[in-house]
Amino acid sequence: MNVKKEITRWKYACILLFGIGISNIGEWVYFIALNLIVLDMTDSPLAVSVLYIIKPLATLFTSFWAGSFIDRLNKRSLMIFLDIIRALFIVLLPLLSSVPSIYLFVFIINMASAMFSPVSLIYITKLILQGDRKRFNALYSLVTSGAFFIGPAVAGLLFYIGTPTLAIYINAVALFSSGLITYFMPNLENNYGTMQEKISFKILRKDWNVVMDFSREHKYTMWIYVLFSCVMVVMASAVDSLEAAFAKEVLLLSNSEYGILVSIAGAGIVLGACINTLFIKKIAVSLLIGLGSVLVSFGYVIYAISTTFLFAGIGFFILAFFISYANAGFLTFYQNNIPTDVMGRVGSIYRLFEAMLIIFTTTIIGTLAQMISIRIAVIAGVFVMLLLAFTLLIASRLPSKKRCFNVL
């Protein structure tokens, strides 16, 4: 009977991973196609760059209230709804004739995406038993990494046989398919999408207090969360914003060489994720988080101080290879230490501050690059990243906090 239940659980886990994979590949296709559509309409690189600003802005606008809805609604139903909403708005994108209207639709799509991430994480946490989470998160990293590698390739093929508009429609179909797949997943909650209380400013304020109280009671958990976020999201995003300029203006790479560099990173992500799935059960969660983050940062350092294509490629490969280790470890830690009944509110509110830090740090590094030099800005960013990563490694290996990383 236990074997049967185990098979059933992993059957649903595989179905979920398949849906996530389709959705992630579709998002890559959609975003690349959207860049080309906006560039074709405006002939302005600035207009395209606005698309990159919309995502953190949508996260800022959504995060302070989304968690209150997420924790009170049925997660499976909400995932289906968000997939369908995104599919519908994406279908309408090619029909729009003005850039401001495209920006508005992209903002709404990114709002739905900002909600989908914490919803799916809660559902995964409820679906996967604690002892299986490390293995599942390794597979999850493999699927998302594969999408990073496959998505642009699929986009290129679609542009070759059709147009960016066709690619947009393909993504809408992918999201609709993801929602359909989710429909066949088990319902893990009693409620089917209705809320017992109306969301008001009073409720939002109460929920913020719940998150603050949780943070005070679980200081170590949130300290690890913040450190990991600063290393792997905030500093990585800030440094990545100068990636193209660093490659072109500092390393003097051609467009084709830069394309190869990105491909090296993609290969590193996929290879690292594949090996991770084989050995993750033997690696402690604290090492995955701490040492994984240090090795990712070390790869960034090699890239930042490189003067040739070869060393830049080595740095790219190292940082990409260890990303899945760090992410799988963090997801497991997060799922094991934050209860699902507050996970939506905790994740959303902390993502609000994360988005603010991304905008602030990216502005600082961008200004430093403009006023002094791109290389100095990148080197400063990666050494701050490395310092935070070592702090995370030390914090995650404290003997007194070992129980926080042990799978019960």
CB 288 within 8 A of CB 362: no
Mean pLDDT of the chain: 82
Highest mean pLDDT, choosing among 52-56, 164-168, 172-176, 312-316: 312-316
pTM: 0.82
CB-based contacts of 214: which residues, under 8 Å, 6+ apart?
222, 338, 342, 346
- How far lies 145's CA from each of 21, 122, 274, 279, in Å? 9, 21, 10, 17
If phi over 0 gives left and psi between -120 and 50 gives alpha, with beta otherwise, what is residue 193? Answer: left
CA distance 12 to 6: 10
CA distance 169 to 161: 14
Among 25-34, 174-183, 229-238, 394-403, which stretch is predicted with the lowest mean pLDDT? 25-34
Instruction: Note the pLDDT tens digit of each residue in 53-103.
Output: 788 788 888 877 877 788 888 888 888 999 899 899 988 988 888 888 988
Residue listed under structure tokens 């701490």: 290
Q: With 60 as the cut, is the pLDDT of residue 192 above it?
A: no
Give percent of the chain above pLDDT 70: 88
Q: What pLDDT shows up at residue 3?
A: 59
CA distance 305 to 239: 13
Triad 56, 272, 149: Cα angle to 5°: 55
CA distance 299 to 295: 6
Q: With 60 as the cut, is the pLDDT of residue 193 above it?
A: no
More confident residue, 15 or 314: 314
Instruction: Note the pLDDT tens digit of each residue in 241-254.
Output: 787 778 878 888 77
Over range 222-233, report the average pLDDT: 92
Instruction: Note the pLDDT tens digit of each residue in 109-154.
Output: 888 888 888 888 888 888 888 778 888 888 887 777 666 666 666 6
